């Protein structure tokens, strides 16, 4: 499982990475017959120490809690509209989705995958890498198919977001070409394909070296309130 360089981690990042390492050990250890009383007590003590720091609110990937978007002024009598989302302060999904279960360094169940925006022709693409550990196991020594689907959901959704046409997932079609190996660096690519009114189409691929493991197409639906006036 990929681990970020320790020198680059903030204390919260390092804590999340330590939890990932713990999950990997617990997932792969034979614990039958082992006295786990002390370990369980230590983990629960840490949980109780951190619990007072829990912030209530609606969760989201880009922030600890959801904040209602601002509204735009509309003529009297017309329905209220939400303001278009402000430009992301970062270019890369790994930066603007810190709590994502796929790329979020502040989410201990994420691998985490690395996704970055790359200029390509008229649009941006998303390129990235990920290594899945044993916690994501499905078939023997391979990644669970549902995990791959979740990865594509994030990849294709992010490809829409970086082009300013993000939306909610409508459909996601995955074609599994070969088993996807655990513990192996994987390369991903996602790109905007086309749009039809409120529907945005994106595609993506997942490789292990030169081997195509899976490919996907997603249809994302733009919210009427958040649509760009030019689309």
Q: What is the pLDDT of residues 155-200, one digit of tens each?
A: 999 999 999 888 899 999 999 999 999 999 999 999 999 999 899 9
* Residues 134 and 73 sit within 8 Å (Cβ to Cβ): no
**Residue ranges of the alpha helices (H) in the chain?**
11-28, 37-50, 93-96, 145-161
* Residues 207 and 149 sit within 8 Å (Cβ to Cβ): no
- pTM of the predicted protein model: 0.85
User: What's the length of the chain?
Assistant: 231
Q: What is the pLDDT of residues 6-38, one digit of tens each?
A: 567 799 999 999 999 999 999 999 999 999 999
- The chain-wide mean pLDDT, for the chain, equals 89
Dist. CA 159–CA 219, nearest whole Å = 12
Give the per-residue pLDDT at 230. Answer: 37
Query: φ and ψ at 79, to 5 degrees?
Result: -65, 150
């Amino acid at each position: 499982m990929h681990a970020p360089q320790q020198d680059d981690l903030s204390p919260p990042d390092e804590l999340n990475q330590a939890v990932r390492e713990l999950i990997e050990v617990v997932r792969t250890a034979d614990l039958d017959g082992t006295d786990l009383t002390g370990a369980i007590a230590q983990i629960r003590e840490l949980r109780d120490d951190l619990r007072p720091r829990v912030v209530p609110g609606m969760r989201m990937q880009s922030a600890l809690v959801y904040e209602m978007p601002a509204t735009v002024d509309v003529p009297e009598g017309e329905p209220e509209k939400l303001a278009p989302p402000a430009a992301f302060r970062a270019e890369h999904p790994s930066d603007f989705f810190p709590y994502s279960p796929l790329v979020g360094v502040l989410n201990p169940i994420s691998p985490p995958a690395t996704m970055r925006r790359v200029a390509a022709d008229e649009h941006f693409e998303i390129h990235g890498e990920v290594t899945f550990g044993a916690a994501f196991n499905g078939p023997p020594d391979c990644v669970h198919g549902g995990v791959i689907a979740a990865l594509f959901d994030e990849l294709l959704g992010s490809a829409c977001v970086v082009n300013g046409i993000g939306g909610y997932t409508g459909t996601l079609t995955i074609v599994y070409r070969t088993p996807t190996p655990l513990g192996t660096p994987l390369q991903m690519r996602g790109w905007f394909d086309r749009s039809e009114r409120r529907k945005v189409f994106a595609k993506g691929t997942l490789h292990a070296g030169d081997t195509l493991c899976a490919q996907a197409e997603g249809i994302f639906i733009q919210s009427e309130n958040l649509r760009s006036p030019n689309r």
